[in-house]
Amino acid sequence: MSEDPDVQTRRIARAGLDREDPTGWFEDLYSAASEGRAVVPWDRGTANPLLTEWFEASEPNGNGKTAVVIGAGTGWDAELVADHGYQTTAFDISPTAVDTAQRNHPDSQAQYVVADLLNQPADWHHAFDLVVEIYTVQALPISLQPTAVQRVGELVGPGGTLVVIASARREGQPDAEVEGPPWPLTRATIESFAAAPDLRLIEVDESPSPSDPTATRWRAEFLRD
């Protein structure tokens, strides 16, 4: 019997954490997946349903606007964003993920690049009209999450929108009991995205996970004034 993808992902992540490289395991996982030795558990072959629902409800017009998709993986969320007219930058810290996205979407209107959320290019500061963050912050150890949240907020331009989708942590669950990845986000962590100057929370919803009825997901929308 093949190893469960979630268990395999935790094993690969743990090896990275043990060598004090909390982000290097993303490349390890995508590289193994490209060779058929692993499965990326969040690679659904389609855009995240909560992002699709947000576009359907909000009906944003991306023409003439810029967007960035954080931790774009193999590109399905970025393709949805680009299909709505945004000039879309999609980045991942894993070169193999970026290569895979480019192969998956050879005629894409999105630009796929290798970049690190925690050390992003200076010219991305407050540069985007739409910022999409799905499951990236929760893939980082809890100790790194405050910095990651801050870096996400720094990407949102004046008048821009931030959409955050993440697994929800059970209310009152101590940090020490969370064995990641992922390290799901508390409501307080979701609300902390609004700690950035002029970035305010517009709406936050919690809904059941389609794959696990015992788990829930956050979807939050923020606006920079």
Query: Rounded to an integer, what distance in angstroms lies between the CA atom of residue 111 and that of residue 78?
Result: 9
| Per-residue pLDDT tens digits for 89-111 | 999 999 999 999 999 999 999 99
pLDDT digit of tens for each residue in the chain (225 aa)?
466 777 888 888 778 777 888 888 889 889 888 888 888 878 888 999 999 999 999 999 999 999 999 999 999 999 999 999 999 999 999 999 999 999 999 999 999 999 999 999 999 999 999 999 999 999 999 999 999 999 999 999 999 999 999 999 988 888 888 887 899 999 999 999 999 889 999 999 999 987 777 889 999 999 999
Reported as half-sphere exposure (CB side, CA atoms, 13 A), residue 180 has a value of 27
Given this model, what pLDDT does residue 2 score? 62
What is this structure's pTM? 0.93
Query: Rounded to an integer, what distance in angstroms lies between the CA atom of residue 214 and that of residue 207?
Result: 11
Per-residue DSSP letter, 118 = G
Buried b or exposed e, range 120-153, using 16+ CB within 10 angstroms: beeebeebbbbbbbbbbbbbbbbebbeebbebbb
The CA-based diameter of the chain, rounded to the nearest angstrom, is 53
| Per-residue pLDDT tens digits for 137-171 | 999 999 999 999 999 999 999 999 999 999 999 88
